[in-house]
């Protein structure tokens, strides 16, 4: 499934009410991620950026990893950390499977 399909399925085609405008979605390792914003383009001084994470192993939202930022730069730096963690967990689980 593509990241868009996963988010539509998990959230039943609904958007986040605080940050309804999706900037991008992706997948890295065991995590699907989304960056969205509260800004519809008409008020650039009033931005909130949401990062939403879904665990690809069970298709469950990771509310403990999902968060919001007032800076897109901070949100994207956080996504990079999530991607790194997702790759690491994927590799560890793959290595475990190969050992059995």
**CB burial string 16-53: b at 16+ within 10 A, e below:** beebeebeebebbbbbbbbbbbbbeeeeeeeebbbbbb
Predicted local distance difference test score (pLDDT) of residue 16: 86
Cα atoms in the Cβ-side hemisphere of radius 13 Å centred on 31: 21
Domain range annotation of the chain: 3-99
Is the pLDDT at 18 greater than 70, yes or no?
A: yes
Mean pLDDT, to the nearest integer, of 32-48? 83
Q: Show the CA angle centred on residue 46, arms to residues 75 and 65, nearest 5°.
A: 25
Q: What is the value of pTM for the model shown? A: 0.90
pLDDT at 52 over 90: yes
Chain segment 61-99, per-residue pLDDT in tens: 999 999 999 999 999 999 999 999 999 999 998 888 888
User: Of 75, 95, 99, which Cα lies nearest the Cα of 87?
Assistant: 95
């Amino acid at each position: 499934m593509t990241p868009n399909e996963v988010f539509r399925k998990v959230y039943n085609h609904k958007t986040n009410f605080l940050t309804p405008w999706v900037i991008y979605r992706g997948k890295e390792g065991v995590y699907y991620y989304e960056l969205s914003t509260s800004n519809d383009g008409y008020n650039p001084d009033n931005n909130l950026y949401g990062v939403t994470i879904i665990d690809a192993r069970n298709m469950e939202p990771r509310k403990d990893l999902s968060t919001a930022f007032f800076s897109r730069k901070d949100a994207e730096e956080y996504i990079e950390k999530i991607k790194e963690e997702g790759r690491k967990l994927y590799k560890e689980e793959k290595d475990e499977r190969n050992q059995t």
